[in-house]
Every structure is written in structure tokens, then in C-alpha cells.
């Protein structure tokens, strides 16, 4: 790696720092211990991480227009906040102390989840005053973590076995481990190359069409890090985990590994991927870590309240939120998610679509494979086709056709 290592914020280099160990009676976050470099002996083999940091500092620009009205961590997934699915996975593996590194529309997250005690975890918030990048977001939480810490990108939906990842991390004596996944088309992701012993060898940003692809393993956005390394990240400027932090670990020969495991994984950062993630959950391609609210009813979930006409059709799989009204002869599903308080008019059809809260679908309208924000009004006999994404509050005239 050329240039100055982003982890060399003091005279102590990351490599060769087994001397001068900190006093084990001191908390590793104490001020006089910070910046001392890689702390040997911090991680005990077999130790179960109890903390996680979730990186949600961005504005979710790739997910616009949906994130113009709501923070990405709480966009609805099967009518539950997306972040709740990450918290459910962490809780399943015994991680109950979670720090959310955030900056954009933080009140949205607080309103939706609070301290997340209802999900069996404690959620704390660290708010960035200015964007710090993925590495800076982790560093901003350094005073709240110790030992070994899971770090999640805030747009990753996965059911990966975190306990197995921790065992790999401990067995290898790793200080930084990345969950890697294999993809069919790796060009749209950051590639991670390993040596024969699974140590990190090279990071490559999204390769150009003319470049030779040497691996199909990509960074899946789930990390296991020694908290001492987190404290080495500069706190006074934006830092990228992918472009600076891990390449610096490789250059400084810090024990860093990639762990490739079979698991469901999807980056929900685009509207198309966001919709597809919900189809995966509905159709059984992904394990449902958190069930939709409501009762299971013949292949679909129905929350309380609302009304369903006797001749309305719900074709499984589908999710009906609270206080949903289905008028005569309408059809919802297959693979549809209807948000709380929404109304589907007579003879309307909603298939493969995701509707947020309080959407009004007029009589005879047809919605297919689209995403509809909150408080949208769809006129009678309108057509909304595959790939269309409507911003919250939009009004679509009667008989309009929206197609790509």
C-alpha cells in the first residue's frame, strides 16, 4: 500500500506493537491507553462478542426517493423497520448491546425503535455532527465498545451464522475478520482476495469492464473487529473501512482474515434490491428472522383492524398491515406487502408490490412489481408497472400509466 497508513495517527506503527501492553486492569477505552497501537492479548479465544456497531450515517441516496421521507434504517421491510431484522440476527447470537452510528433523520429511528428493548436488545445512538465515512462512523463509537465487536453496514440483510464467524475469528487468532459472500456478477461490488490461509491479501474496488476478475468473493459488510483497532482509526476526518482501514491492516501485517460462508445476503441499498429482499422473505428464499405483525392466515399475515370484503382475494404470500381495507373484487398478491392504514379499491390488483402506510389505490387500478411510498394516492384505473418507485405523498391521476 502506498502513502501514509490511515491507522498511523501516532508514532506507534501498527506492526511490531506487542511491546508495551496496557494494564489489563484498565478499561481499553481509557484515554491514556488510546492510540497505543494493536493490543496483544485483548481477545480471548472463545470469547463471545456482546456488542455491535451498525453503520447508518449516510443519507441513503441510492434508495431515493424512498429515503427523502424516512431514514434508511427504518424503511419498512414486511411492515417492520429494516433495522429490526439486523437487531433480531444479533440477538439470536447473543449480541444485545448495539450502537447505531447515525447522522441523517435520527428522530425517525428513535420514533420507530427507541431503545429497542422490545426486541430484546439495548440500542444506543452515536450521532455524527458531519459525515465521517464507514471507518469514521465506527471510530465515533469507540468509547462505548471493548473486546471483540461486530460491525454491520446499515443496508445488509443476511441470516449469516455470526456464532460460526466468531469461532473462525478466535481459532485463527484474527484481529479483523470480514464476512465474504460469493456473487454471480462481482463487478458491482468491492472484491476481496485471500491467500491460501484465508488471510486478507488485497481489496479491489468495483473493477472496470476491461479488468480481469480474479475472485467472486465480495465484502458482505459484516465485520468482527478488535476494539483496540477501532480506536486506531483517526477521529478527525472521514475514513473508509473498505478503501483505507482494511488495506492498512494488510500493509501492516495485522492478522486479518476473510470468512466465506453460505448464507442469504442482500444489499438493500437500491429500490430494486429493497423490493426484491421482501420478495425473498415472502417466497422463502431468505430465513424470516422477524415475522410480520399479525396472525398467520392461510399463507399470509394479517394485522389487526381493517376490513376485507367477502369477495376480495388475498393470494399468498402476502402481508396485510393494521387497519387495511380491501374492497370488493380486489386482489392482493401473490407476493404483496400492504402497509398499515392502506386501502385497495374495488377491482384493483396489487401483485409483487410493496406499499407503505396509508396508500390509497383507486378502483380498477393495477400495481405490479413496484414500490409505493407512504400517503400516495393512485387514481382509478391507473397502471403502475415494474420498477416504478413513487415518493411518499405522490398523487397519480386516474387512468395514468407509469412504466419503465
- Give the model confidence (pLDDT) of 350-387 as tens digits: 999 999 999 999 999 999 999 999 999 999 999 999 99
| CATH assignment at residue 341 | 2.160.10.10
Shared domain for 308 and 267, answered yes or no, is no
Inform me whether the pLDDT recorded for 266 exceeds 70.
yes
Strand 176-182 relative to strand 217-226, pairing:
antiparallel
pLDDT band, very low/low/confident/very high, at 60 (cuts 50, 70, 90): low
CATH number of the domain where residue 167 is located: 3.90.550.10
- 113 and 232 belong to one structural domain: yes
CB 264 within 8 A of CB 158: yes
Do 227 and 130 reside in the same domain of the chain?
Answer: yes
Average pLDDT, the chain: 83
Least confident of 152-161, 322-331, 355-364, 375-384: 152-161
- Pair 368, 233 in one domain: no
Same domain membership, residue 300 and residue 259: no
pLDDT of 113 above 90: no
In the three-class reduction of DSSP (H, G, I as helix; E, B as strand; rest coil), residue 380 is classed as: coil
Task: Give the CB-side neighbour count of residue 57, counting CA atoms within 13 A.
Answer: 24
Query: Quick one: residue 46, left, alpha or beta (phi over 0 = left, psi -120 to 50 = alpha)?
Result: left
- The whole-number pLDDT of residue 390 equals 96
Judgement on whether residues 263 and 193 belong to the same structural domain of the protein: yes
What is the tally of structural domains in the chain?
A: 2
Region 291-309 average pLDDT = 87
Residue 217 banded pLDDT, cuts 50, 70, 90: confident
pLDDT value of position 317:
95
pTM over 0.85: no
Whether residue 280 is contained in a domain is answered as: no
Residue 280 φ then ψ, to 5°: -60, -45
Are 249 and 343 in a shared domain? no
Domain that holds residue 74: 31-272
pLDDT at residue 34, rounded to an integer: 33
Strand locations in 45-194 (E): 51-56, 76-77, 80-81, 97-102, 122-127, 148-153, 156-158, 176-182, 191-194
Q: Of 219, 241, 272, which closes a domain? A: 272
Asked whether the beta carbons of 205 and 114 are under 8 A apart, the reply is: no
Assigned domain for 132 exists? yes
> Does residue 261 share a domain with residue 331?
no
Amino acid at each position: 500500500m502506498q502513502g501514509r497508513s490511515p491507522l498511523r495517527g501516532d508514532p506507534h506503527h501498527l506492526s511490531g506493537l506487542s511491546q508495551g501492553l496496557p494494564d489489563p486492569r484498565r478499561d481499553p477505552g481509557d484515554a491514556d491507553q488510546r492510540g497505543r497501537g494493536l493490543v496483544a492479548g485483548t481477545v480471548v479465544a472463545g470469547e463471545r462478542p456482546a456488542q455491535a456497531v451498525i453503520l447508518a450515517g449516510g443519507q441513503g441516496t441510492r434508495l431515493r426517493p424512498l429515503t427523502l421521507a424516512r431514514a434508511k434504517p427504518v424503511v419498512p421491510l414486511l411492515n417492520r423497520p429494516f433495522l429490526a431484522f439486523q437487531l433480531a440476527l444479533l440477538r439470536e447470537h447473543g449480541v444485545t448491546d448495539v450502537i447505531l452510528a447515525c447522522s441523517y433523520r435520527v428522530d425517525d429511528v428513535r420514533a420507530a425503535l427507541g431503545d429497542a428493548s422490545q426486541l430484546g436488545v439495548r440500542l444506543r445512538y452515536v450521532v455524527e455532527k458531519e459525515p465521517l465515512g464507514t471507518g469514521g462512523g465506527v471510530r465515533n463509537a469507540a468509547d462505548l465498545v471493548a473486546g471483540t465487536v461486530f460491525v454491520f453496514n446499515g443496508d445488509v440483510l443476511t441470516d449469516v451464522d455470526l456464532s460460526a464467524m466468531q469461532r473462525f475469528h478466535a481459532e485463527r487468532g484474527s484481529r479483523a475478520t470480514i464476512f465474504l459472500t460469493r456473487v454471480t456478477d462481482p463487478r458491482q461490488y468491492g472484491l476481496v482476495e485471500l491467500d491460501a490461509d484465508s488471510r486478507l491479501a488485497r481489496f479491489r474496488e468495483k473493477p472496470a469492464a476491461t479488468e480481469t476478475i480474479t475472485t467472486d468473493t465480495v465484502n458482505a459488510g459484516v465485520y468482527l473487529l478488535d476494539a483496540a483497532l477501532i480506536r486506531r482509526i483517526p477521529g478527525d476526518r472521514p475514513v473508509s473501512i473498505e478503501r483505507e482501514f482494511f488495506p492498512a491492516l494488510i500493509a501492516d501485517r495485522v492478522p486479518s482474515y476473510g470468512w466465506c460462508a453460505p448464507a442469504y445476503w442482500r444489499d438493500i441499498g437500491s429500490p430494486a434490491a429493497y423490493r426484491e429482499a421482501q420478495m425473498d422473505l415472502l417466497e422463502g428464499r431468505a430465513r424470516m428472522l422477524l415475522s410480520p405483525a399479525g396472525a398467520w392466515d392461510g399463507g399470509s399475515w394479517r394485522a389487526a383492524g381493517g376490513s376485507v370484503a367477502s369477495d376480495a382475494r388475498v393470494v399468498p404470500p402476502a402481508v396485510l398491515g393494521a387497519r387495511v381495507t380491501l374492497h370488493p373484487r380486489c386482489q392482493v398478491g401473490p407476493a404483496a406487502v400492504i402497509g398499515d392504514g392502506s386501502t385497495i379499491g374495488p377491482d384493483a390488483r396489487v401483485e409483487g408490490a410493496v406499499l407503505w402506510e396509508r396508500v390509497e389505490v383507486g378502483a380498477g387500478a393495477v400495481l405490479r412489481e413496484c414500490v409505493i411510498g407512504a400517503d400516495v394516492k393512485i387514481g382509478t384505473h391507473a397502471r403502475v408497472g415494474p420498477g416504478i418507485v413513487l415518493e411518499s405523498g405522490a398523487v397519480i391521476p386516474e387512468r395514468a400509466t407509469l412504466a419503465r
